[in-house]
Amino acid sequence: MTNKVLVTGGAGFIGSHLCEKLVEDPMNDVFSLDNYSTGSKDNHIKGVHYIEGHTKEIYDLIDFHVDIIFHLGEYSRVEQSFEDIDIVWDSNKNGTFAVLKFCREFECRLIYAGSSTKFGDGGMGRNQSPYGWTKSTNTELTINFGEWFGIDYAIVYFYNAYGPREIKNGKYATLIAKFSEKMLRDEDLTVVSPGSQKRNFTHVYDIVSGLLLVGKYGHGDNYGIGHPDAYSVIEIAKMFDGKIKMLPKRDGNRMTAEVVTKKTEELNWQPKHDIKEYIKSLKKNN
């Protein structure tokens, strides 16, 4: 029997890689729901059915039975969320509430992409930005929907994804892609002060392999998908061998985050890629 899979944010960085792996299984009928706020039609994968629209419109846009939803389609930037707070609320609150109600009514299994920011700075990360707070409270809402209405769910947490199809330019650019582009243009590598903030950079292929395992076998909360090795932002900049320019400190910029991967590892997940080797390959191909 065909398994109908919906990926919200399926034209985005992580979502497109997930769609690419899902569609490899002939038993999967894969759909993407994306409003292209940060996603791109350049990320479309052959064999995936693309639906353009906001997750809050899911009832109007999805008129067929869905077996499982991978809900990745939320606003996902910390520092920028202060100025984008209306967009954050619309996406992360209105959109996700609609997805949860949809799962309840049509008995869809839900894999919700939470945010590892809530583990940052001893748990203070959940309140350090509009992004962090909306994502953290959405994990609580997902857990409660599971308890209240019997939704079959699992919650995953990504740690600083990098790899092909990262957003390279503009205010939503990811760190590794931004540094890579600056290296190509021989520009200064801009590091937000103090530079000692640590991150667990995780290749998108490892994130997707974790997502697929949790999609099959995971139930409940705390499926972290992150590389165990942490590096400061300034250490990463030094790996690119460029000139470093320090920028003023910004709100919401956590210093550390606990890596919660035990439950994912129990599903036989382990990361296979290393950020140091990835940066070496970028420099080699420069």
CB atoms within 10 A of CB 110: 23
Alpha-carbon distances of 230 from 167, 190, 249, 256, rounded to whole Å: 22, 19, 20, 9
DSSP 221-244: EEEEE--S--EEHHHHHHHTT--E
pLDDT in tens, 55-78: 999 999 999 999 999 999 999 999
Give the tokens for residue 225. Answer: 């998908």
> What is the bridge-based pairing of β-strands 68-71 and 49-52?
unpaired
* Distance (Å, whole) CA 7 – CA 223: 18
Tokens 């064999």, residue? 47
Question: What pairs with residue 223 in β-bridges?
Answer: 156
Q: Which helix (DSSP H) or strand (DSSP E) does residue 186 occupy?
A: none
User: Is the full-model pTM beyond 0.75?
Assistant: yes
The domains located in the chain, with CATH, are 3-161+202-226+257-271 (3.40.50.720)
Nearest CA to 16 among 54, 49, 45, 36? 45
In tens digits, what is the pLDDT along the chain, a chain of 286 residues? 789 999 999 999 999 999 999 999 999 999 999 999 999 999 999 999 999 999 999 999 999 999 999 999 999 999 999 999 999 999 999 999 999 999 999 999 999 999 998 888 787 888 999 999 999 999 999 999 999 999 999 999 999 999 999 999 888 999 999 999 999 999 999 999 999 999 999 999 999 999 999 999 999 999 999 999 999 999 999 999 989 999 999 888 888 878 999 999 999 999 999 999 999 999 988 7
Give the tokens for residue 197. Answer: 């903030």
The packing angle between helices 204-217 and 13-22, to 10°, is: 60
Q: Which helix (DSSP H) or strand (DSSP E) does residue 50 occupy?
A: strand 49-52
Tokens 């409270």, residue? 137
Judge whether 145 and 103 are in contact, CB under 8 Å.
yes
DSSP state of 170: S
Judge whether 166 and 17 are in contact, CB under 8 Å.
no
- What are the φ/ψ torsions at residue 60 (nearest 5 degrees)? -80, -25
pLDDT in tens, 238-249: 999 989 999 999
